[in-house]
Amino acid sequence: MSDDIEQMITTFRAGLRGKPNYAYNLAGLAEVVAHKKVPLRALEVAREALAAAGDDPRAATRARRLMAGLIPGYHVPMMNDARRNETWDRALRRAIRPGMHVLEIGTGAGMLALMAARAGATVTTCDTQPVVAQLARELVVRNGLAERITVLTRSSRELQPADLPRPADLLFCDIFGDNLFDFEPLPLIADAQARLLASGAPVLPRAVSLQVALGWSPDLRNTVRDTCGFDLSPMRDFVSAAHILRIGDPDIRLLSQPQQAFRFDFTGSSQRGEIELGLQAEQDCEVNGAIYWIKLELDDENVLEARPEPGLRFFSSPSFAPFAVPQTLKAGDAVRIGVAHRGKVLETWIAGHG
Ligand SMILES: C[S@@+](CC[C@H](N)C(=O)[O-])C[C@H]1O[C@@H](n2cnc3c(N)ncnc32)[C@H](O)[C@@H]1O
């Protein structure tokens, strides 16, 4: 961190101390530090503001607002998702034998690493984001597992074999975003397999896939209608190619059985690139898009799937790819859906009928 920023913090803090609204203004200083792109120092100042806030809820709110902005929003829902946590805990206990050394890519706040250590492993883990890696270190200490878990603030690509006590006996990771490819998990896992694992070491999940179905969603983002007597049709080309849905939204309808678009099996073969799926309407219906979601096969018993169901809560969300023109189908009619992934980007389209 630059001396200039440290100097700024010292000067501001000295100017604020003893004055009204000290904690509130200290939280403001944390915001300025965050804008300077030194998130760990911003975290320290925000925590100082929080400690000074006492019974001033306005100051505490300002400090917490800044702190929440220092980490991606998905970490809190992930750690509160009981179905996900229990499934991972079962799979890790099943895979880990005492004395194993295991590697994780993307520890976030460290939840899965804590589970792996509790199951008897020693763990090397990493995250590119300095604030979540710092939180993981703190939570590891708080849970008495500092002897068993090493958290490195680094991309897995930058880990060297010497960062591990020996090649890892197992790799585990949850680096599968809503569209599967957001964190580019396939090259990251292949890289770790090639450089950091013992020969034949398994990967958890053992396979991941994308599931695709025909669907209906009344979401206002899906199309542009001509309204109030105006021709707005040129705006249809600006409709987003896909957007995230709420998994438990009762208005989403699945109108075909899902099919697997891609399955990546970390023990062997994988489908890549581009495929076509024949999806068959299960009833007379209007479909206005394809719904897709991730499925993680942790092992042969423990599977996590973000299939939409009314009322369901789950940290991962399905996506909806609207069709340019909604389709009116009879039960049994088939629509061919093309699905392709290019790096992080996933695209779907109507490839034909029948
Ligand atoms: C979806 S979160 C999972 C967090 C945690 N493992 C859990 O399951 O609760 C994925 C994490 O992977 C991290 N990540 C993404 N690419 C990475 C890479 N190349 N090396 C290390 N961490 C990475 C992100 O910063 C993020 O914190």
CATH number at residue 280: 2.70.160.11
Q: Is 76 in contact with 69 (CB distance < 8 Å)?
A: no
Question: Would you call the peptide bond into 326 cis, given omega within 30 degrees of 0 as the criterion?
Answer: no
pLDDT tens for 181-201 read: 999 999 999 999 999 999 999
Q: Is 282 in contact with 331 (CB distance < 8 Å)?
A: yes
**How much is the pLDDT for 42?**
98
Containing domain of residue 291, as a range? 207-353
Give percent of the chain above pLDDT 90: 87
Number of domains in the chain: 3
56 with 80, same domain: the answer is no
Q: How far is the CA of 80 from the centre of ligand 1 (A)?
A: 17
346 with 316, same domain: the answer is yes
Domain boundary among 204, 221, 249: 204
This prediction has a pTM of 0.94
**How much is the pLDDT for 135?**
98
List residues near ligand 1 (CB under 6 A).
74, 78, 105-108, 111-112, 126-129, 132, 155-157, 174-175, 183, 188
Cβ count within 10 A of residue 232: 11
Domain boundary among 69, 85, 106: 69
Domain boundary among 142, 170, 204: 204
Give percent of the chain above pLDDT 70: 99
Question: Residue 32: pLDDT band by 50, 70, 90 thresholds?
Answer: very high
Mutate to test the pocket of ligand 1, among 127, 134, 296 (most ligand atoms within 8 A of CB): 127
188 with 218, same domain: the answer is no
Residue 254: which H helix or E strand, with range? strand 253-254
Mutate to test the pocket of ligand 1, among 183, 195, 298 (most ligand atoms within 8 A of CB): 183
Specify the range with the lowest mean pLDDT, choosing from 15-19, 86-90, 100-104, 127-131. Answer: 15-19
Handedness of CA 126, 132, 135, 139 (dihedral sign): negative
22-35 vs 39-53: helix axis angle to the nearest 10?
170
228 with 346, same domain: the answer is yes
Average pLDDT over residues 326-352: 94
173 with 251, same domain: the answer is no
Question: How far apart, in Å, do the first and last CA atoms of the chain sit?
Answer: 61
Has residue 125 got a pLDDT over 80? Answer: yes
Q: For residue 104, which atom of ligand 1 is closest to its CA?
A: 6
Non-local (6+) Cβ contacts of 123 within 8 A are 101, 102, 103, 104, 113, 116, 117, 148, 149, 150
